[in-house]
Amino acid sequence: MKIPSSLNAPSPGTGPVSDRAGTAKPASTGTQPVVGASVHLSELSSQLTSSVTGGDFDHAKVEAIKQAIADGKLTVNADAVADKLIANALALSGHATK
């Protein structure tokens, strides 16, 4: 059985995405952004943001660790890392630790 040549050619919009990039039309929702709109974040969001930007970052310590890694002198205590990971997981799940 012979397949007609018209079936071998891809129909418009069925080729790779790069072939279709110019044919896509932006979706129109019919709404415009509201000028002067405000957004209110919850208290929890504010707490999370402040904890991320808190003073827990020690730039000198980070640089010392980076240098130790580069020099091949960094040693990792796997037991201590595992204990702290477990303690953090328990704290996040609401379980008390010793």
Encode pLDDT of 45-76 as tens digits: 877 776 665 567 788 999 999 999 999 999 99
4 falls within a domain = no
96 falls within a domain = yes
SS (H, E, C) the chain: CCCCHHHHCCCCCCCCHHHHHHHCCCCCCCCCCCCCCCCCCCHHHHHHHHHHCCCCCCHHHHHHHHHHHHHCCCCCCHHHHHHHHHHHHHHHHCCCCC
48 falls within a domain = no
74 falls within a domain = yes
| Domain ranges, residue 92 | 58-98
Domain count, the chain: 1
35 falls within a domain = no
15 pLDDT more than 60: no
As given in the structure block, the two tokens for residue 13 are: 């919009």
pTM passes above 0.85: no
33 falls within a domain = no
